[in-house]
Structure 1
Amino acid sequence: MEVVIMNFKKKASALALCAVLLGTSIAPVSAATHEKIAGANRYETAAMIADKMGDYETAILVNSDKSLADGLSASSLAGKENAPILLTSKDNLPAATEKRLEKVKKVYIIGGKKAISEKVEAKLAGKEIIRVEGKDRIATSVEVAKLVKGAGTAGFVVNGFTGEADAMSVAAVAARDKAPIILTDGKTMPIDPDVYLYVIGGEKAVSADLELEVDGERIAGENRYETNAEVIKYFYKKSGTMYFTKGDGLVDALTASSLAKNDGIAFVSKNSDKAVLRNRGSLIQVGGMKQDVLDSVLAGENLEDKGYIRAERPDLMRLKGSNITYEDFYAHAGDVDGKDISDKIQIVGEYDANKMGTYNVTLVVKLSNGKELKQPVVLNIYE
């Protein structure tokens, strides 16, 4: 009997794949509004993000001129303090940044004086200044972790030298969950954490031995775009809004982390897989990008409203006699204004939950403007 079930599952999966592929061509066009947050440079973009956050009394200051070394771990602190991350150069505080710091009472400077000099610090006279620094980027991440200790229940382990993209993939999650990002050399832990740890990136970045040592859960793909997609699938399944940035210009992902913490940030390039962006209500671009990259993101999108329907589990297997609902497909839907209307999703099509077989059905939701959105899915009943 076991063999029969295994063969059935293989057959069901094959049929499901065909159905999903076919569904791609007959499914309605994805609907998503497109917004843009982009200044003339990285400093202005960070400042515009701060404006979107509204009132704040605390800010995080990071130097991103040459690398994101010190800033890689800053997002968790930004989440804890509900603070924007603003950018500076070593010796000069850009006008856009200085303006956003006028009314704040507290500023965390991430990194030592070789990263952000006393000259910049002097321009912040009258404010409470807290400089967070270690002897190197790894030690700095430990100091940040100490500041957010107890705020969150999880944290992230990345390679501090080759894993900048991995750190930025979880920056929004770290801000949302106040979860420290611990930089490592990929082989040893610089701190004994008291939170559950996720290992971000493949074994070339963080060794299997280190993963075993921290007893963590690895989230990884073959490259930065795939790893980023896996992070989104894991932490932002229900998000109707998705921010997106250039995958080769990571600073925008850092500065957007506080604003995008409840929605997630996707990395894009012209040829990257855009699947995680599809069927979202809003796509929000952060930072400038080439037109061909933007075109690849918005291809096939209907920008008229925010209505969407999405099934995270389009190939569902259930035991005979099970009660089947839209929730089993991990389905979510939003109205034209982006409001969650998942509870209005219906399963349309003939199937018998008491009879073994593979059934092609459709998830359907009706929007307030009368339009119906459909998502083809496959239901496999086995015994």
Structure 2
Amino acid sequence: SKLKEENIDFLRLGNDFSCASEYRDNLLSNKARLCNNIDDIRHLIINSRIICGTTTAFNSHTEIFSLKSFQLAIIDEASQILEPHIIGLLSAKHDKENAIEKIVMIGDEKQLPAVVQQEANESVVNSKSLNDIGLTDCRLSFFERMIRIYGKNNHNYCHVLTRQGRMHPEIATFPNEAFYGGTLLPVPLRHQTEATPLEYHGNNSIEKILTTHRISFISCCPEDNTEEPDKMNSAEAEIIADIVCTQYNMIMQQNNDNATDAFNVNKSIGIIVPYRNQISTVRNAIDRRIEESGLSETLHDITIDTVERYQGSQRDLIIYGFTIKKYYQLSFLTDNEYYDETEDATIDRKLNVAMTRARKHLVMVGNAQLLSNDFTFKRLIEYTKEEKCFFTAQNIQE
């Protein structure tokens, strides 16, 4: 998208089904159809300065390296890429020389790692020669292994970016202190310098929260409904739907009901929940309000997804519904926690990703009493209480 904005031409590896419509003209397969013969296709590839694609796409098109070499390869989300997915690119050759002169990997080991099905005991590496090069666990990315070997303070190899242009500073405070040792600073961009109103003169409690707080936690105890599965929480879904509708109405009022410019389904609101069942529950709650209140059907298209699918995305308002109703479910929410010795801190990768998706507002909904059984969640809830942005479902519904 940035290349498009700067009018920089590029080739895209992939197919129409996995490529957004605005980039399909750049697909190699589509550009190749305009070529008269194989030599034209060869020249198309050789003369393209920039080629974009996933690691899977490049590993499926290694013949590109027989045609040309590259001065630079930039690998994004590198903390999620396992060694087998990248080794073919690192070792690619062109005329018996390295096909890539320099490789820059960009990622955040404090966010979600690669998805691996094997348990820790199956992934452990016992070979001394592999342990000597830092390969102790097959679930670790090459990116994370390099950080462990060379260290973040070795500026010959590792560099830490500390300016963030997404979160309003009031949203960034907790993840910054809890996960990044207080090193994050705002760029700042325009939305990061916006003042937060101190007062609200209406009588809508949700609108008051969204007006006067950048971050808030709404504690919701689940109803005693034995027929509802553990992976569904209708009480939370109703609150989330109320927040969505309230925010939508606020956006429309602030922009004189100009729906075309005011509300963008891909930018305005995003909802994160841990279970697929809860996605449907929240979607149904929103749809009922659309039908009952005559709100725009655009609200149906709001992205409701898991934190794994939200990594890399952002929204002006993020609503994070914890959903869980039983103690045993805590282990699922915290299964990506680890202890960072260099920071002397417990890093909850899922919570970190969820909180850092928000640009202007973050609302979290969950059972505070249950969540407080986890160290990091308890710390988060205590923080919201100290900042006077902790509320109960009963209070906001009165």
Given the two structures, how large is their TM-score scaled by the length of structure 1?
0.23
Greater helix content: 2
Given the two structures, how large is their TM-score scaled by the length of structure 2?
0.22
